Chain A
């Protein structure tokens, strides 16, 4: 197991290395002068030129430049945005939690809803509950997210007026920025109207979460169902039944653990598509997250910002994926107790 974790960590390092090389080379591949793209200064005066050239080692070979780039990344310097002329790193840092918050809550909702429904569906295989659940997921699975988002906004926001359709929190509340996760920040701050603010934030969160959770939930339901059905067909389940355990006991003691193992892995793999969907959702709901910011930067050809956003999102997705892979191995006794080096 230790070996496995080490190997995964090496893989992580390697992928992050490739990512950094890619990001670094983008400055040269994007149109314009690499120095502009790297630093983010659009008009460089003669005075600045000397300083920047020294800082970015633009006269040296690519390797030295790359090392300098890595140094800057680790010290939190990603240049400044063409657009706002503010440091990219700070910007990413400030808005990234909003995306993570949206994605994590949607993922949690999809786990809480998807896994039990998948199990129920498998338990009532080919009977009414199964058919109903399966048909519903098929619909959810095939909804284009932007269309679904608009439909939700029309219904719940414009027609009924139950939920707000944009932003993270009403403008009247002033929540200090500590961790960037708004619910956490509200709970930890000592503003007046704390619970009103909390309620308001939750209301803002409802619709984007609902939209974003639809796809992963349907995927989870179908996958859990399939996995459970496979497990229920195995001989060890038949043996457990033959021991005289009740169907519920069989499900609890032998079904769940085996069926949910592959689901853990799936959740990790789903994370990248979740982030992609989150970007679209952010644009539609004006959610101030890194996805919306990145898309805007792309429209405005703001190369330093694109690089920074890309680096942040990709790093995050890679880390989550590898962590879920390690968790999967850890929960699975077959691989956990296996002799090292054997898979």
Chain B
């Protein structure tokens, strides 16, 4: 069964009289036990989608969707309270800047303790207190922090970004969520810590069958362990499918450009591709092109592209482009 099923998610920024569609008609679905990658340049709206799922966008944003189902239940139709309950019990989110997600004025211990749900404990008040302490230490061990005593007594500003990220993961897994949304969990980290964090996440998926929505701006992070990948450009979902499909046979010019910009893939795909990097940069929200938002940067763009392309579906592989890359001739 689909864990999360989102159809035509649109996120608008209300500014003055008009509103800007920062994210336009995005589809996203995640199966149970699946690791789904969401990739796109920074500013393409990945964090917005994640925040819209967990419902933490403020009044300035207007979120609409034809469907936002969590295990078959439409989240938009539930009361605020019920929705909050589901979100806080079953979905956990790790925000992009971990050190900013920890309260600067309370210790790691306090923050870790309060993220342990009380229904996982039993016994009287004293027992519960001890169990909580033990759980906190166990959680730290689970995410690879060994000097737990020192860590627990610290304030966030005394710890490095990597430590904060691990603590965020520890807090997120404390309630044993079904879906973990990790917004660029490794971006600010150096490579050894990055590998550790990815290992922790991978372990969570394999041992606990936790689904993960892994957000990244970097295709390389996703290549070896996601099951499915969605590629986002400037608030539009350009392509999504299984990891092999996306990496081996990208149909969308943008996906292809992304893959070619990674040196490793570049080597084997060199003879097929003409472009290594797209000209220009991602447009700002104030200057969005009409129709296909890749238009001004796309080497294949034609007149048709001023109309927004609809999604083509080919098995589980979908792509939104008027002139997708065709692999049929090559095969002949």
Contacts and interface: CB of A to CB of B under 8 A. Distances in A.
Nearest to B155: A333
Interface stretch (B35-43, B87-95, B239-247): B87-95
Give chain A's interface secondary structure class: helix
B56 interface: yes
Contacts of B59: 126
A126 B58 CA distance: 13
Nearest to B93: A242
Contacts of A135: none
B56 A242 contact: yes
Interface in A252-273: 253-254, 257-258, 261
Interface string A308-343: 000000000000000000000000111001100000
A236 B114 contact: no
Contacts of A142: none
A236 B104 contact: yes
Contact of B97 (A235, A241, A249, A261): A235
A239 B101 contact: yes
Contact of A241 (B56, B106, B171, B175): B56
B137 interface: no
B232 interface: no
B158 A236 contact: no
A243 B115 contact: yes
A292 to B, nearest CB: 42
B88 A235 contact: no
A245 interface: yes
Contacts of A258: 103-105
Interface string A153-194: 000000000000000000000000000000000000000000
B158 A337 contact: yes
B100 A235 contact: yes
Contacts of B97: 235
Nearest to A244: B88
A338 B102 contact: no
Contact of B103 (A240, A242, A249): A240
Contacts of A332: 105
B105 A333 contact: yes
Contacts of A239: 93, 95, 101-102, 168, 171
Interface in B111-146: 114-115, 117
15 contacts: A236-B102, A238-B56, A240-B103, A242-B56, A243-B88, A243-B114, A243-B115, A244-B84, A244-B88, A249-B114, A253-B103, A254-B103, A333-B155, A337-B155, A337-B157
Q: Which 10 A-B pairs have the closest CB atoms?
A: A244-B88, A235-B101, A239-B101, A243-B115, A236-B103, A257-B105, A238-B56, A333-B155, A254-B103, A235-B100
Interface of A: 126, 233-236, 238-245, 249, 253-254, 257-258, 261, 332-334, 337-338
